[in-house]
């Protein structure tokens, strides 16, 4: 059996929420660097989006979309900007040790986007 690593994958594509799993790409950036230990700051590059670390489970994204709909209805003016504001910082900090991301067994790095303007762009800044 041969395995192929996909650089990113679509974790969820729901009516008001798009989620990309960028864990493999971030891990490759860390591995290519000379940083043995430190912190990887993974940031969304464009609005309206943000980065989160969480376990990848299908029900999570539907539940998140439902919660966000209750907090800020789809018809609300400037909904995407309000959601990004409610969900906090657009960056996640992930520890790095031994040249690898320190994530839990099932944890993944997600780029979360809202609305049609979601571009899927992100950056990683390494400090170590």
- pLDDT per residue, tens digit, the chain (128 aa), is 555 555 558 777 777 888 899 999 999 999 999 899 999 999 998 878 899 999 988 788 888 889 989 999 989 888 888 888 888 888 999 999 999 999 999 999 999 988 777 788 999 999 98
Q: Tell me, what's the pLDDT at 3?
A: 52
pTM for the full predicted model: 0.85
Please report whether residue 102 resides in a domain: yes
DSSP-derived 3-state class of residue 63: helix
Q: Tell me, what's the pLDDT at 83?
A: 87
Please report whether residue 3 resides in a domain: no
Domain of residue 81, residue span: 9-127
Please report whether residue 78 resides in a domain: yes
Question: Which CATH number do you get for residue 111?
Answer: 2.60.120.460
Give the residues across from 127 on adjacent strands: 39
Please report whether residue 1 resides in a domain: no
Q: Tell me, what's the pLDDT at 46?
A: 82
DSSP-derived 3-state class of residue 26: helix
Please report whether residue 32 resides in a domain: yes
Q: Tell me, what's the pLDDT at 88?
A: 85
Backbone φ, ψ for residue 98 (5° rounding): 60, 25
Q: Tell me, what's the pLDDT at 118?
A: 79
67-94: per-residue pLDDT in tens?
989 999 989 888 888 888 888 888 999 9
Please report whether residue 64 resides in a domain: yes
Tally of structural domains, the chain: 1
d(CA 76, CA 99): 44
Which value, to the nearest 10 degrees, does the dihedral of the CA atoms of residues 79, 121, 59, 27 take?
Answer: -150
d(CA 65, CA 9): 19
Please report whether residue 2 resides in a domain: no
* Interstrand relation of 100-101 and 17-21 (parallel, antiparallel or unpaired): unpaired
């Amino acid at each position: 059996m041969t395995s192929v690593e996909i650089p990113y994958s679509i974790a969820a594509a729901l009516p008001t929420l798009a989620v990309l799993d960028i864990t493999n790409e971030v891990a490759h950036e860390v591995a290519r660097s000379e940083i043995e230990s430190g912190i990887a700051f993974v940031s969304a590059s464009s609005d309206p989006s943000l980065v989160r670390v969480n376990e990848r489970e299908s029900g999570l994204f539907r539940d998140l979309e439902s919660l966000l709909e209750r907090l800020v209805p789809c018809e609300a003016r400037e909904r995407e900007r309000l959601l990004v504001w409610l969900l906090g910082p657009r960056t996640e900090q992930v520890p790095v040790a031994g040249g690898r991301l320190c994530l839990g067994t099932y944890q993944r790095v997600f780029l979360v986007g809202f609305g049609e303007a979601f571009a899927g762009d992100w950056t990683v800044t390494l400090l170590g």
